Amino acid sequence: MKIDLSMIAKSINEETEAEVEISLDMFRSRLGNFPITEKAPVTLHIRNEENAVVRIYGTVSVTVKVPCARCLEEVFVPVRFDIDKQLRIAGTEDSPDAGALIDDEMEETDYLHGFELDADQLIHDEILLNWPMKVLCRDDCKGICRVCGMNLNKGACSCPETEPDPRMAAIQDIFNEFKEV
């Protein structure tokens, strides 16, 4: 959904709302593709505050399906957070139409094109920023056997090297995290 903010950018203290349906059924990112199993429309409040600032805020609430970091079993993870953007109005007094809204906090702002807000892109970017760091099906998930691949939450396998101890699984997570750095 594209929202034209050029009018509100010109009117101080003007306020409006936009109801944005999340059209995505799959969240795609560098991290992988994750089904979105529940979502609610996002009400974006848009307000021209003084000092050449347009503020955009609202609450996003979705549920995504993410594999457990240890056993790969799929977990339904609620992701809920607030968007709160303070956008600077850049433009000249002679030609305000030639200006743009600028998000000084982000390096890349592919959700803004001049005075046009790409609400889907904004919500996508914000979901990525608020992505759950590590998903476990349960805190003491035992993981999978590295030899036979069996899910050790469902029972012990017969491999001699197996360590069906959740403390060991946690230590292996830590090692894996170090490797990624």
Q: Which residues bind Zn ion (CB under 5 A)?
A: 68, 70-71, 73, 137, 141, 145, 147-148, 150, 157, 159, 162
Q: What is the secondary structure of 2-24 as a DSSP string?
A: EEE-HHHHHSTT-EEEEEE----
Nearer to Zn ion, 56 or 71 (CB): 71
Nearer to Zn ion, 104 or 155 (CB): 155
Nearer to Zn ion, 67 or 96 (CB): 67
Shortest distance, position 71 Cβ to Zn ion, whole Å: 3
Helix H or strand E segment including 127 = helix 119-129
Shortest distance, position 179 Cβ to Zn ion, whole Å: 19
Please state, in angstroms and rounded to a whole number, the distance separating the CA atoms of residues 75 and 139: 12
Shortest distance, position 150 Cβ to Zn ion, whole Å: 5
**Paired tokens of 31:** 């991290």
Shortest distance, position 77 Cβ to Zn ion, whole Å: 12
Provide φ and ψ at 133, rounded to 5°. -65, -50
